[in-house]
Structure 1
Amino acid sequence: MQAENLGVDKELFEYVAESVTQSPFYNLIGVSHISLGPGSAEMIVTAGRQHTNPVDLVHGGLIMSIADAAMANSVRSMGVRPVTVDCSTSFLASAEFGKDIITRGKVIKRGKNLLFAEADVWSEGILIATAKATFFNIGDIKV
């Protein structure tokens, strides 16, 4: 899927979009971009049987991972190389395998060294989780 650029510098957008397609972890879980805007990112994964827990629902670890991915990429859209220092997720509903899971992350505040972001996670039009995270800026993205 080709990601949509919603206003990010062209070179930065191409760098972030390409790095997502090359990420071993993102490839492992199957997550990809839908769109990237200044301080925002929307990502998608189609949950497969490999993403389920022992009760045959999508594992919470996948939901947490894609929420973190959307928040981190919303930070990266601002030209920052982030690492997650804190992340919390609230689960509101379950998700079934075979369905698309979409997460929308956005930067809430940018400080000198720390950035704060939040994400909503949706499946079949139902809000299944919310997340908040703090990221440490380890440097600027050089494109």
Structure 2
Amino acid sequence: MDYEKLIKTRNSTNYFANMMDLRIIEIKKGYARTVIDPVTKTHLNPINSVHGGCLFTIADVTAGSAASSYGIQVTTLDSHFNFLRPGLHTTKLTGEATELKHGKNISVYTVEIKDQDDTVLAEGTFTFASLGKPIVFHD
């Protein structure tokens, strides 16, 4: 698997993540890491904490990137997500996904979202269904 090509393809074709300035920075077998740097006002809710939807999107994109590391298209089937701490005065967000189970049809990943101080703001478990189609790479 050409992980650099996979990163480039996923970064160029995930328009919602691009709108949030979310970038995939690493993918390897069963693993992915993403980042938003810097966090801006567009990522915040009315109390100036990182918006919960932003944290969840980071988790979904990060876990989906790890699940796609096998070169097959996947879709989110289920998730369980915990908001642990408010993201107040946050300047950077990093998502990290690791594999719990890789199966032919179903795969499961854990995700942590951390701030610039490595404080875990949120964590979750994401389940993906394989679509059975290879990922089409873009140049």
- What TM-score comes out, normalization by structure 2 length? 0.88
Q: Does 1:44 pair with 2:35?
A: yes
The Cα of 1:26 is off from its aligned counterpart by 1.2
Residue ranges of structure 2 left out of the alignment (5+ in a row): none
State the partner residue of 1:85: 77
- Among residues 99, 120, 135, which one is paired with 2:128 in the alignment? 135
Q: Distance in 2 between matches of 1:17 and 1:97?
A: 30
Structure 2: which amino acid aligns with 1:130?
E
Q: How many residues align?
A: 134
Q: Is the 8 A contact 2:50 2:90 kept in 1?
A: no
Structure 2: which amino acid aligns with 1:138?
L
Q: Is the 8 A contact 2:7 2:25 kept in 1?
A: no
Name the stretch that deviates more: 94-103 or 50-59.
Answer: 94-103
Q: Distance in 1 between matches of 2:104 and 2:6?
A: 23
Q: Is the 8 A contact 1:20 1:33 kept in 2?
A: yes
Alignment of 1:43-62 (within 5 A): 43-46=34-37, 47-62=39-54
Q: Distance in 1 between matches of 2:126 and 2:30?
A: 14
Q: Could you list the per-position Cα deviations for residues 89-118 of structure 1 after superposition, in whole angstroms to 9, with x for gaps in the alignment?
A: 111111136511001012210122111111
Q: Is the 8 A contact 1:52 1:97 kept in 2?
A: no
State the partner residue of 2:60: 68
The Cα of 1:53 is off from its aligned counterpart by 0.9
The Cα of 1:31 is off from its aligned counterpart by 0.5
Moved over 2 A (4+): 15-19, 140-143
- 1:94 match: secondary structure: coil
Q: Is the 8 A contact 1:13 1:77 kept in 2?
A: no
- 1:131 match: secondary structure: strand
Structure 1: which amino acid aligns with 2:66?
S
Q: Distance in 2 between matches of 1:35 and 1:15?
A: 10
Name the stretch that deviates more: 29-38 or 88-97.
Answer: 88-97
C-alpha RMSD of the superposition: 1.6
The Cα of 1:32 is off from its aligned counterpart by 0.4
